[in-house]
Structure formats: C-alpha cells, structure tokens
Homo-oligomer: A and B are copies of this chain.
Amino acid sequence: MPITIKDIAKQAGVSFSTVSKALRNSPLVTNKTKKRILKIAGEMSYFPNNAARSLVSRRTYSIGVVWPSIERLTHSVLITNINAMLETNSYTTLLSINQVDAAVDTFNRFNVDAILVFDDQQAVYDRSSLASNVPLLFYGISGNNPYPTIDANRKKAIQLAFDHLIELGHKRISYIGNLPSNDHFQEEKVSAFREKLHEYSIPELAHMVVTTDNMDSYDGYSAAKSLLTGSQRPTAIISGSYDLTRGILKAAKELSIDIPNALSIISYDHIPQMDELDVPITAVGVPILTIAETITQVLLDIANEKEVPDSIHLEPEILVRKSTHSVPMVHPTL
C-alpha cells in the first residue's frame, strides 16, 4: 500500500489538495506548511504516483527507447548519452529490448511522451502498420517509413576518409568492414569506397575490400592480419567501425608495423573512445555527441507536439589524430 498525498494530509492535519500544492511548490501554500508537509513526505518516503499524475496532466515526462540489439558499443555509448541529456531536461528514459512493435505497444500503454526506435537492424515488420498514438522518432533508416527519421551520412564519411588519405599521398588503400546480407548501412560504406576508387582511377585489386562476418574486434584483427601479411600490403586502411579498428590496431602491433609511419588507419565511428586506443585514431563520422544532442532535441520537440522535419541527415566530420600520416617515401613492401 503505497503512501499517497492523502496519507500525508492526514498526518499533517491538512487537506490533500494542500499537500499536492505544497509538493509542487505552489505559491498558494505558505512556506511554513510547505516545509512541514515536505518533511513529512520525506519521512514517509512518498513517491508521486505517475499514473495518477499523467492521467490528469496527460504527460509522463518519459521517453521510451526501443533497442532490440543490445550488443554494440557505439549504440551503448549513444544511449548512455541520450539518457543523460534527457535527464537534464527532467525526462526519464525507459528502455525496451523487445521487438519494435511489441515495444511500441508497451510504451503506448505507459503513455510515454515520445518513442525513439533504433532500427539499425532493419527488422522485418511493416513500418506503416505500427499502431501508436505516441509520436515516434526513428534513428537509422532514411525514407520509406512514415515517421520522422534521423540518420547519418555514411557515404560522405567514407568519402572524407578517402580524400584525407589521398591528400596524404596514399594510393594503396584498403577497406575493412563487415557486410551482412541485409544491412543497408554497411553496403553504403562499401559502395562509397568503391566510387572513390573509381574517382581517383585506382583499380580495385584483390583484398582492397575485406569484408568480415561480424563487427567484432576479432574480425578486424583477422582481416588485418591476413591483409598485412599478404603480398599486397596497403599503406592505409579505412575501418568500418570502432570495434574492427581495435582489432586492426592489435594486428599491426603484433606485426610491428608502425602506425602511422608504416601504415595509416582511419576509422568510422566518431566516438571519444577512439582517443583512448594505443594510437589515437583519426576518425570520420558524425560525432556521437552531435547525434545524441540531435536525437534528444527532436525527441523533446515531438514530445511537445512541435513540428519536426520528416528526416534529418547528419553530416559527418573528420577528426585527425595520430593514426594517419603521409605515405612513406619508401614503401616497405612495394
């Protein structure tokens, strides 16, 4: 039997509506009684009943996040940031690891003020049939769904990376990334890479695009190991993600390949963690804080029934750190 304002009212010898006002710090209650009531509320460890409150205010000041894939560092970082930002705006974040439709259903029942859907997996469900009275925001898929969407320009990111390497004089550039059958995002990166090869009239040799089965550091490690011990060693590698990069770094270290002097590495995923690796890694992508800020802002907007654009494309940036360097005059294997 949870404590209610009526219990407090009885204890304080005052009407329950006075208690309500006191707890909400209304000017309609004198400071003295306010203080007294606050004290009693604390002692009785009172929690406002969100259900009752939201029933009358039509607001819960909470945001639901649908997060079906819980095992990716970049996403963890992103969610942690969004969570923190929402908190500073007095919003509470609720997560669900259910399927998108079930999670949306749940959040509707709880009357959250807005729902954020991480749809990176491109789960198979009919996005047009998602029943929801709560406004939705998608992160990850552009177009083809009727909800506001935020995504990152992955193509541009790879282009930035490539151009940076070209500027440094690199020609023998490899891309390491995973390429699952139905992942539109990874495809985008690979094709951007190939377009750039074409633009600079660089023929695509074997092993210039190394696709991995997974996004794990190991996949990066294995790919890099075989790539760097092969006959056609590149002078620079573009990595598809933070996790892969960690593996690549490890491989290089093992082979005593000096980074950046003997090999340049540039990685997708613009997260602070890039700075903490053995060699601080030059990174491309939309800064994770920018993503978090944008998502948070749009969430707050749709929660407050403001108009938001149908889709927001975030532009990537390049942050040059220690891992990229001009191509060595004498290539060790060339």
Residues of A participating in the B interface, judged by any CB pair closer than 8 Å: 2-3, 45, 47-52, 54-55, 60, 62, 70-71, 73, 76, 79-80, 83, 87, 92-98, 102, 105-106, 108-111, 131-133, 216-218, 221, 246, 250
Contacts and interface: CB of A to CB of B under 8 A. Distances in A.
Contact of A94 (B54, B80, B95): B95
A50 B133 contact: no
Given A3-B133, A55-B55, A98-B83, A110 B50 contact: yes
A250 B250 CA distance: 13
Contacts of A109: 47-50, 92
A127 to B, nearest CB: 15
A133 to B, nearest CB: 4
A111 B2 contact: yes
Nearest to A250: B218
Given A45-B133, A70-B79, A79-B70, A97 B93 contact: yes
B98 A95 contact: no
Nearest to A87: B98
Nearest to A49: B111
A80 B131 CA distance: 24
Contacts of A50: 51, 109-111
A214 to B, nearest CB: 12
A40 to B, nearest CB: 14
Contact of A97 (B60, B73, B83, B96): B83
B95 A96 contact: yes
A255 to B, nearest CB: 12
4 closest Cβ pairs, A-B complex: A95-B95, A51-B51, A50-B109, A45-B131
A94 B94 contact: yes
A131 to B, nearest CB: 4
B111 A110 contact: no
Given A3-B133, A93-B96, A55 B47 contact: no
A133 B49 CA distance: 11
A97 to B, nearest CB: 6
A109 B54 CA distance: 10
A55 B45 contact: no
A212 to B, nearest CB: 14
Contact of A51 (B52, B71, B96): B52
Contact of A80 (B97, B102, B108, B246): B97
